[in-house]
Structure 1
Amino acid sequence: MKMTGSLNILTLMVVVVSLLSLAAGNSTVVVTHENFQGLINTNELVLLSFYTDWCRFSKILEPIFEEAAAKIHQKFPENGRVILGKVNCDKEEMLADQFDIIKYPTLKIIRNGLISNQEYRGQRSVEAFVQFVENEMADPIKEFHSIEELKNVEVGDGTVIGYYISKDHVEYDTYRRVASLMRNECRFLVGFGDLTKDLRPPVKNALIFRGDPPVPNPKISYSEYLGNMTSFTNLTSWIDKKCIALVREVTFDNAEELSEEGLPFVLLFYNKNDLGPIQEFKKAIHSQLENETRVNFLTAEGKLFKHPLYHMGKSLEDLPVIAIDSFMHMYVFPRFEDIHQPGILQKFIDDLFNGALHFNYHLALEAHEKSESTIDPSQFPPVAHESKFKELRPSKHRYTLVNRTRDEL
């Protein structure tokens, strides 16, 4: 009884805060350390703008964000659905530190009370904000209506499939909330009732993961969830492990987000007309470097990223090409074929972190220039080029950047 009463009081307080903000003529809610937890616990989607009064980009965004909040409130007027809030980082230093805010304005996305690193990085217009929220509030789970439809599904890197007794089952509500949170990481399907009775245990629901793995392995391509079907935390953890790819595709849309993870890129530049090297690269990573956490493994379409290629002295005719971008320098992996030799790619990465890539190249180059070297130029350590992917990091023309220091590898 005490817990229920406390929860009701918390919910009431949050509603009052929201109503007071609306009554004051604001569509956005002023978020403080005191009301923050209540707001994220009682709303499905919270979009927070972390700003300062002295940041010109924050000032430009403020009226746009306010107008967007008003329109979104009209579309989703129910309590507990969507809140657009603003955090003054000069006044709320604890919240700014909690979210590791290093640029203004930063727009953070919180779903179902779960705090993640995800940010809104789209266009800063009223229409774009409204469209984003509408997409986020749409049902992320696609229902299949026949077994034939299910058989023909292209699962790609990963699809979670639910077999449920009914849509109003409490366990399906948990699945729906987790799918909402993970909508950008995986695809979600569901079937109900008699259609699924032969695909699940009697009088029980079931969840499975299916994928097309880069390394043929039935254990990777099929997995059943055996945990608590009503545990939001446990189910989220299981889907996260299954759906977050070890090798991801970098594009201009996600490069900023990937760069802010702070890990050097190990990139495969490929020709879109020859996708074989992608599977070879993924197979090598999964079989040799599955536990390597110091870098991000990425594939990059060569024509899309031809500028970094040319910067390294490579062209589309040279693809596939593997390189490391440390955000200080770029290093070309000598021969793509060597990824099949255990330990070669691992040493390439190790040499980045122990400084050998940078040091050995300059040492060999200096010796060669003095004509003291017997090293064949083709055997030189990887050339150090200035990073080009650092140019895809958050722009000073879009944010006020702070605390952007980083040790050179």
Structure 2
Amino acid sequence: MKLTGSLDILILLAILVSIPSLITANSAVVVTKENFQEILNSNELLLLSFYTDWCRFSQILEPIFEEAAAKVHQKFPEPGRVILGKVNCDVEELLSDQFDILKYPTLKIIRNGLISNQEYRGQRSVEAFVQFVEKELSDPIKEFHRIDELTNAEVGDGMVIGYFASKDHVEYDNYRRVASLLRDDCRFLVGFGDLTKNLRPPGKNVLIFRGDPSIRNQKHPYAEYSGNMTSFKELTAWVDKVCLAMVREVTFNNAEELSEEGLPFVLLFYNKKDLSPIQEFKNAIHAQLENETRVNFLTADGELFKHPLFHLGKSMDDLPLIAIDSFVHMYLFPEFKDIHRPGVLKKFIDDLFSGTHHYNFHLALDAQEKSESTIDPAEIPPVVRESKFKELMPSKHRYTLVNRTRDEL
């Protein structure tokens, strides 16, 4: 999860207080600029629907969201746990601007008072909303009871391990809050008492990060937290830094969210029958492009994304292959094996931002249009295709889109 803006401006909360007068058993809470801060300060989880009365998608969602709010309140009636709220963007323009709402309805998630750019993008049904809340309020940390469980634990993209004297400690409470916020970006484990006494200094609690052992040259293969463990801000920043994977998997479930980050996709299309190219791709990125922030590095199951492959004139038999999708055009990387040649993949990305790919696109078009062209066919750049992943961006068939424009490559 990428946090909005600097962590210096994130809203931090330490104490949960109750405001039962704002909660009804039958409906979502109406959120206004007057009560927003109080609601924010008082709840572990907020799911806010930003809507307008005239938006037909908002109208479709309203009765579903209201029923979900009632069921969530019935399941979690205790004050301070969760609120499903709604914000009328025509009335609450300041709140709409604060959350940078670009489409209706937008469902924003706020955990422990921390405003991020994350949205709810799952199924819009009563059952799905209730299941989402149940998952969000479940314990994000798995407790281990034997040291050998650590040895056999699956690290995935990364794992944070806590060695604590006991559960009854403010530092562990803070660890749980951070784990709840970043549960989708990392795995979290914890051990207590005598089990961990040889793994931490006497009277001290320790947090370490363990990176994916299959990736060479990664930036954070191992790290120990040295900051203030009672500081939600500091601990969140550290976990976010070590856990955010450089290479992520794109799926139909997260493509919309990834596209809204606004960065072009550098995609590895792979065949599930051979996963070795994924490790090669990750190793190349970590070794050569660890400071590259202009693009999103992603892996894509070729079977799942057959349509973009077909659009590129490729099939499963051509995998693995790499392409850039700029949300305007798709550009094909010549040979997958060239990722091992220092500088080649970087130049491929640089050529996007220098305009070289775009120039070659027009050069290829001109060559095709001139039947009398004397250009050697071998020198004509490959045909560039229109973006396919832009179709996975927020759709006009799901949202009413605000008329704002941005420059795109």
Using structure 2 for the length normalisation, give the TM-score: 0.92
Q: Check whether the contact 1:269–1:301 (CA below 8 A) recurs between aligned residues.
A: yes
Q: Which residue pairs with 1:257 in the alignment?
A: 257
How far residue 285 of structure 1 moved from its aligned partner, in angstroms, is 1.2
How do 1:2-401 and structure 2 match up within 5 A? 15=19, 18-20=20-22, 22=24, 26-213=26-213, 215-217=215-217, 220-367=220-367, 369=370, 371-377=372-378, 379-401=379-401
Task: Tell me, in whole angstroms, the C-alpha distance in 2 between the residues paired with 1:283 and 1:74.
Answer: 48
**Aligned partners of 1:128, 1:204: CA distance in 2, in Å?**
41
Check the 8 A contact 1:31/1:86 in 2, yes or no: yes
* Deviation for aligned residue 1:382: 4.2
**Cα separation, 2, equivalents of 1:106 and 1:239:** 27
Residues 112-168 of structure 1, C-alpha deviations (whole Å, 9 max, x = no match):
000011111111111111111011000010000111222111112101000000011
The separation in 2 between residues aligned to 1:370 and 1:151, in whole angstroms, is: 65
Separation in 1, partners of 2:148, 2:401:
52
Deviation at 1:380, TM superposition (A): 3.6
- Contact in 2 for aligned 1:330/1:385 (Cα 8 Å): yes
Give the secondary structure class of the aligned counterpart of 1:220: coil
**Per-residue deviation at 1:371?**
4.9
Instruction: Return closer, same or farther for 1:79/1:354 CA change in 2, 3 Å cut-off.
Output: same
2:402 maps to which residue? 402
CA pair 58-218 structure 1, distance change in 2 beyond 3 A: closer
The AA in structure 2 aligned to 1:358 is: H
Question: What letter is aligned with 1:81?
Answer: R
Which deviations, in whole Å up to 9, do the C-alpha atoms of 1:178-236 show, x marking residues without a partner? 00101111110000000000111111110011122554358732111111010111111
Rounded Cα–Cα distance in structure 2 between residues aligned with 1:219 and 1:266: 19
The aligned amino acid for 1:304 is: L
Distance in structure 1 (CA, Å) of the matches to 2:330 and 2:213 = 29
- The 3-state SS of whatever aligns with 2:220 is helix
Deviation, 1:21, is 5.3
Q: Deviations over 1:331-361 (max 9, x none)?
A: 1111112212222212211221222102123
Name the amino acid aligned to 1:338: D
Distance 1:194 1:340 in 2: 47
**C-alpha contact (below 8 Å) 1:332/1:383 kept by paired residues:** no
The one-letter amino acid of 2:282's match is K
Q: Secondary structure at the match of 2:199?
A: coil
Q: Which amino acid aligns with 1:270?
A: Y
One-letter amino acid of the counterpart of residue 387, structure 1:
S
| SS of match in other structure, 2:322 | strand
Q: Secondary structure at the match of 1:251?
A: coil
What is the CA deviation profile of residues 79-109 of structure 1, one whole-angstrom value per residue up to 9, with x for unaligned ones? 1110111111011111111111111100000
Matched position secondary structure for 2:390:
helix
Asked whether the equivalents of residues 357 and 381 of structure 1 are also in contact (C-alpha less than 8 Å), the reply is no
Q: CA RMSD in A?
A: 1.9
Q: Which moved more, 1:210-219 or 1:136-145?
A: 210-219
SS of equivalent residue, structure 2 residue 91: coil
* 1:5 alignment counterpart: none
More helix by proportion, 1 or 2? 1
**If the length of structure 1 is used for normalisation, what is the TM-score?**
0.92
Instruction: Tell me the distance in 2 between the aligned counterparts of 1:189 and 1:298.
Output: 26
Which residue identity does 1:244 align to in structure 2?
L
Tell me how far 1:364 sits from its aligned partner.
4.5
> Counterpart in 1 of 2:6?
none
SS in 2 for 1:268: strand
Tell whether the 8 Å contact from 1:159 to 1:209 is kept in structure 2 after alignment: yes
- 1:233-259 Cα offsets, whole Å, 9 max, x none, are 111111101111011000111111111
d(CA) in 1 for partners of 2:16 and 2:238? 30
Distance 1:219 1:57, change over 3 A: closer
Larger RCO (CA under 8 A, 6+ residues apart) = 2
Is there any run of 5+ residues in structure 2 with no aligned partner, and where? 1-14
Contact map agreement 1:361 1:380 (CA 8 A) in 2: no
Please tell me whether the aligned partners of residues 255 and 393 of structure 2 are also in contact (alpha carbons under 8 angstroms): yes
Question: Secondary structure, in 3 states, of the residue corresponding to 2:54?
Answer: coil
Please identify, of 134-143 and 393-402, the stretch whose mean Cα deviation from structure 2 is larger: 393-402
2:121 is paired with a residue of what secondary structure?
coil
Post-superposition offset of 1:372? 4.7
1:375 to 1:365, Cα distance in 2 relative to 1, 3 A: farther
